[in-house]
Each structure stands twice: as C-alpha cells, then as structure tokens.
C-alpha cells in the first residue's frame, strides 16, 4: 500500500496544522448577532437556527410553510434567542428572495450571518431522462436564489464584516449519479462562492465565506428519499448543525461533515478519479432507483 505511505503522513500533517491553526470556539461571540437561516422549517436549517438560538442570537427563519416556521420561532425563543421571527417565501421566485432580505433588514436592522441552506426543485434520486424543467428548477432554487440572496444582502454584510455560510454537499465536489441537476447546482455554488471569497480578499473586504461540504445526514427528507436506494449510514443532523455553526463563527473557509470519510475521498479525487467513482458507485442500489 504505497498510497498509504504517502497519505498517512500527509493526513497527520494536515491534522497538526489544522489544530495548530484553529482558535477556540466561544459561543459568547454570537450573543446579539443578527442571523438569517434559509430552509429552516425542517432538517439541518432548523437545527442551525436552534444552534444560533442557544447562543442568544437574533434570528430570522425562512421557508415556504409559515405554519411550521411559527413553531420553529417559538422553539428558538425557548432555547434563548434574543429575538426570533419568520418570513414565508418561495425561493423559486427570485423577487421573493430579494424581499426576504428587505424584510430581514426591517426586522433586524442589519445582518451578521447569512446562512444559505434551503434545497428544493428536485424530486430525489431518479434516472436522468432529459427533463429540462427539473434542471431549470434545481438551478433556480438551489443556485440562482443563493446568488440573489447574497447580492441583496451584500451591503449589510460588508457593513457588519459578517459571514456567509453556504451549505453544499459531496455532490458539489464529485459528480453524483441520479441527482445530476442537484449536483450541478451545488458545483455552481462552489464556483461562485469560492470566486467571491477570493474577490473579497483581493478587494480587502472582510467578509467570511464558509462552505459546508456535507455527506449523508439523517434529516427526515433525506432518510425518506435515500434509505432504500443507498447503503450509507447517515450522520446526525444536530451534530452537523453544530459543526457548521462553529466553523462559520470561526470564519473557516470550509466545514466538512462527517470529516474523515469524506476528506479521504476528496484527497483521492484528483489523483484516482476511477477509484473514487468506483467507491461512490458502490453505495447506490441501482435496482431501486426509478
């Protein structure tokens, strides 16, 4: 295993560097900060809102279902949020996306954290049959609305020297079968936001951009969609949200969760693409995919 002789020291080195570099996380940094979390009626977004609530932030949650958002707001307040409110909106409409930022500004007076998390416009794992409507709706909901929200909020974020936390996926790093339209939108996000991060640095604008690269997480929606079509074990959405918020608050460029299983695949990706495709392919139960 010559590969291991290279990989093991490399990984140990990276780890040492990572721990050396990392500051300690203090929840106090978040008290009173102003946070908008999209796609926060359920799943990881809901847990991210609760994570910020426990640290005493001012929170606005948004998604389509207002009756569900009301309950999330209630729970945020119970957990210790300084304030909590919601805006109902459909991200397939870019004008609505723009309005979410206007309403957030009215409620909070500014913004420190923009958490872009919603996902929609795709119908789960299925074979690609050339349906352009699915591709268009995925690109609109999962990419264009993220860019619209960012562009509408950019002024507020520059003023506060705030952060954008973008929820991506392994499907945004490795082309993923049976979710091609989703994978395309996540790749686009990675391109746009890493480009924007670089641009901000060169323009000496202190705006942090954290991209979260997630594996399979046990949200209700993902379990329902994936459990009989893949062989993977899901990771916890609560811990996932915790890691995302910590990485975001520390202004890290990337959060990978779960870490090791994915970091290794990412390291192999450029050198051994065929091996990576083989490993990825093994986790699908192709016969169960419609």
Ligand X SMILES: NC(=O)c1ccc[n+]([C@@H]2O[C@H](COP(=O)([O-])OP(=O)(O)OC[C@H]3O[C@@H](n4cnc5c(N)ncnc54)[C@H](OP(=O)(O)O)[C@@H]3O)[C@@H](O)[C@H]2O)c1
**Which of 83, 96, 158, 236 touches ligand NAG (CB under 6 A)?**
96
Cβ–Cβ under 8 Å, residues 156 and 83: no
From the candidates 182, 216, 257, 284, give the one annotated as an active-site residue: 182
Nearer to ligand NAG, 54 or 99 (CB): 99
Give yes or no for residue 93 binding ligand NAG (CB under 6 A).
Answer: yes
Residue that is written with structure tokens 């996902």 in the block: 119
92's contact among ligand X, ligand NAG, none, with CB below 5 to 8 A by partner kind, is ligand X
Least CB distance from residue 49 to ligand NAG, whole Å? Answer: 23
Cβ–Cβ under 8 Å, residues 113 and 58: no
Give yes or no for residue 214 binding ligand X (CB under 6 A).
Answer: yes
Q: Is 216 a catalytic residue?
A: no
Residue 58 pairs in a beta bridge with 34, 83
Least CB distance from residue 100 to ligand X, whole Å? Answer: 9
Of 54-83, which residues contact ligand X (CB under 6 A)? 63-65, 68
Distance of alpha carbon 208 from alpha carbon 68, whole angstroms: 30
Closest residue to ligand NAG in the complex (CB): 93
Q: Which two tokens stand for residue 16?
A: 């040492």
Distance of alpha carbon 246 from alpha carbon 209, whole angstroms: 13
Q: Are strands 83-88 and 254-257 parallel, antiparallel or unpaired?
A: unpaired
Cβ–Cβ under 8 Å, residues 281 and 177: yes
99's contact among ligand X, ligand NAG, none, with CB below 5 to 8 A by partner kind, is ligand NAG
Could you give the 3-state DSSP secondary structure of residue 146? helix
Residues at the site binding ligand X, with contacts judged by CB under 6 A: 39-45, 63-65, 68, 90-92, 117-120, 141, 167, 169, 214, 216-217, 219, 221-222
Residues at the site binding ligand NAG, with contacts judged by CB under 6 A: 93, 95-96, 99
């Amino acid at each position: 295993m010559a590969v291991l002789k290279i990989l093991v020291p490399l990984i140990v080195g990276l780890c040492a560097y990572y721990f050396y570099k990392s500051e300690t996380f203090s929840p106090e940094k978040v008290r009173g900060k102003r946070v908008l979390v999209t796609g926060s009626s359920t799943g990881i977004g809901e847990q991210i809102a609760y994570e910020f609530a426990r640290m005493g932030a001012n929170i606005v949650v948004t998604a389509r279902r207002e009756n569900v958002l009301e309950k999330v707001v209630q729970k945020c307040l119970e957990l210790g949020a300084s304030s909590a409110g919601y805006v109902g909106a459909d991200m397939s409409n870019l004008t609505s996306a723009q309005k979410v930022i206007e309403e957030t500004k009215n409620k909070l007076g500014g913004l420190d954290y923009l958490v872009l998390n919603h996902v929609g416009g795709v119908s789960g794992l299925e074979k690609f049959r050339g349906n352009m409507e699915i591709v268009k709706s995925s690109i609109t909901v999962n990419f264009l609305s993220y860019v619209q929200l960012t562009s509408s909020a950019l002024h507020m974020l520059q003023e506060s020297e705030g952060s954008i936390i973008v929820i991506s996926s392994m499907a945004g790093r490795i082309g993923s079968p049976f979710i091609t339209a989703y994978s395309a939108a996540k790749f686009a996000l990675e391109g746009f936001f890493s480009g924007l991060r670089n641009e901000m640095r060169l323009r000496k604008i202190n705006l942090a951009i954290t991209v979260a690269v997630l594996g399979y997480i046990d949200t209700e929606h993902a379990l329902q969609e994936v459990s009989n079509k893949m062989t993977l074990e899901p990771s916890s959405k609560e811990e996932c949200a915790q890691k995302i918020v910590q990485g975001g608050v520390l202004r890290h460029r990337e959060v990978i969760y779960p870490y090791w299983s994915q970091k290794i695949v990412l390291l192999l990706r450029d050198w051994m693409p065929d091996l990576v495709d083989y490993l990825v392919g093994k986790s699908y139960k192709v016969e169960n995919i419609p």
